[in-house]
Structure 1
Amino acid sequence: MISRRSLLTAASVSLAATALAACSETTTTSRELRPEPVRTPLPELPPPALMYAAVKDGGHQIPAVPFEKIDKRFHRQVVADPSGERPGTVIVDTGSHFLHLVLPGRRAMRYGVGLGRQGFEWSGEGVIEWKQPWPKWHPPAEMIERQPNLKKYATTYDPVTKQWLGGMEPGISNPLGARALYIYQNGKDTLYRLHGSPEWWTIGKSVSSGCVRLINQDAIDLYERVAPKSPIIVTSGLRIT
């Protein structure tokens, strides 16, 4: 026969088990309701009519770009990151004429670019050593040799002042445009730049003498997003469609 004491003991064990089950359920529910980590919001871009509108910058008037005449895939836009590189990395894909700036959250800011003619391209890994708004243009000696009309912009180095003398003054007709980002490799200047250009019709083509050119409005946008010493990769291996 079952005694009264046995019944009370069994009831106590049952109640304890129910209480433990309730605690376990509460704990599980609490975990499930825990908020997700806050993610960095992606930049919101204005429509092309605003992105490529006329703008006055640094005392220079940059004309509006007829963006309707440029393939839409070369307009500035946020896309899925095709590289897997860490945020802040700049990637130039010469095969697709795109420049990507890797963003958090596996996204990237993409810009259309113009590239160098065959025989003048540069590829590899480097860093954005420094950047300059409305830079002077100092054509290299090799370019002056190929184009003697550029001799008036020849540059000489003054060891006393430690400055480069000569070059083309900043302006809307300057080949470096509104912004220039200087690519170094192993501590040395590669002589290649990411830079603005008023020649919007060259975006998506290979026509320049080696540098990576952007629409001036895009060059200004990129300049504000890229920090000095940022890594840069120039490749044709992304195979973007």
Structure 2
Amino acid sequence: MTIDRRFFVLGAPFILGACTTRREELVLETPRFDPFYVAMYAEVPGEPHPVPAIDLSKVDERWWRREVAYRGRENPGTIVVDPTSRYAYLVLEGGRAIRYGVGVGKEEGFNLTGIASIGRKAAWPRWTPTRDMIRREPERYGPVAGGMPGGADNPLGPRALYLYRGNRDTLYRLHGTTEPWTIGTQVSSGCIRFLNQDIIDLYNRVPVGSTAIVLPTGQSAMS
């Protein structure tokens, strides 16, 4: 598929800052990558904790953010998560969508499916492992059972969108990651992880109350 760069939507101010302050430096560091993407995934300035540049050599280009043609019937502003294809889409007007590569749950039973809404949003969110996570891996999650404050080492990354049904938190999140090389794989405990620059982009675009649809395994948003 040929993508016309005029249709890419960069919107977020941090990208503009990256283009003006770090573009030449990063192009020199990674000359084999398109400067457009180097700027997109540059270090994010102005954050209370570091958001380093993504090493694009460790993330396959098919998982990089793009605006694409979209055939679904969802209303603009809807987030569609496609765990089978390892993509999430933000539906736009005119048969377009912003497509993000994501990491998904390592077992089907960990994944929420169906319709939910963004019940709240958080920048540099606190993370607390669920009881099931502690039960499954007590040595890993037991020491942080009381929670971990937001920061560079927090597994939710710099932003999180919390999926609710009615007033009930589903415990399912769209969030960043401390492991960008895992995008496109099945590794999480059920939530959907994005590259940090991508979750910041999505966070800036969608308000609380937005609809989110998580497709069941085997169903594709583009089928």
Q: TM-score range by the shorter chain?
A: 0.7 to 0.9
CA RMSD, 1 decimal: 1.8
The amino acid that maps onto 1:99 is A
Deviates more, 1:116-125 or 1:195-204: 116-125
Q: 1:60 aligns with which of 41, 49, 57?
A: 49
TM alignment of 1:148-167, pairs within 5 A:
148-149=138-139, 150-154=141-145, 166-167=146-147
Deviations 1:56-115 (A, max 9, x none): 343111111112332222110100123121000000011100000001111101100000
For residues 124 and 151 of structure 2, the distance between their equivalents in structure 1, rounded to whole angstroms, comes to 7
Segments ≥4 residues shifted beyond 4 Å: none
Q: Does 1:173 align with 2:164?
A: no
Partner of 2:220: 238
Q: Does 1:143 align with 2:143?
A: no
* Percent of residue pairs identical: 48
Richer in strand (by share): 1
For residues 151 and 59 of structure 1, the distance between their equivalents in structure 2, rounded to whole angstroms, comes to 27
Q: Does 1:196 align with 2:176?
A: yes
SS at match of 2:212: strand
Q: TM-score, normalised to structure 1's length?
A: 0.74
SS at match of 1:104: coil
The amino acid that maps onto 1:148 is P
Partner of 1:126: 116
For residues 71 and 183 of structure 2, the distance between their equivalents in structure 1, rounded to whole angstroms, comes to 20
Q: Does 1:220 align with 2:200?
A: yes
1:54 CA displacement: 1.5
Partner of 2:73: 84
The amino acid that maps onto 2:38 is A
Equivalenced residues, count: 190
The amino acid that maps onto 1:72 is E
Larger gyration radius, structure 1 or structure 2:
1
For residues 56 and 148 of structure 1, the distance between their equivalents in structure 2, rounded to whole angstroms, comes to 36
Contact 1:83–1:238 (CA<8 Å) still a contact in 2?
no
Contact 2:103–2:194 (CA<8 Å) still a contact in 1?
yes
Structure 1: gaps spanning 5 or more residues: 1-40, 155-165
Partner of 2:60: 71
For residues 71 and 154 of structure 2, the distance between their equivalents in structure 1, rounded to whole angstroms, comes to 33
Contact 1:136–1:169 (CA<8 Å) still a contact in 2?
yes
For residues 148 and 92 of structure 1, the distance between their equivalents in structure 2, rounded to whole angstroms, comes to 29
The amino acid that maps onto 2:164 is Y
Structure 2: gaps spanning 5 or more residues: 1-5, 16-35
1:42 CA displacement: 5.1
For residues 209 and 153 of structure 1, the distance between their equivalents in structure 2, rounded to whole angstroms, comes to 15
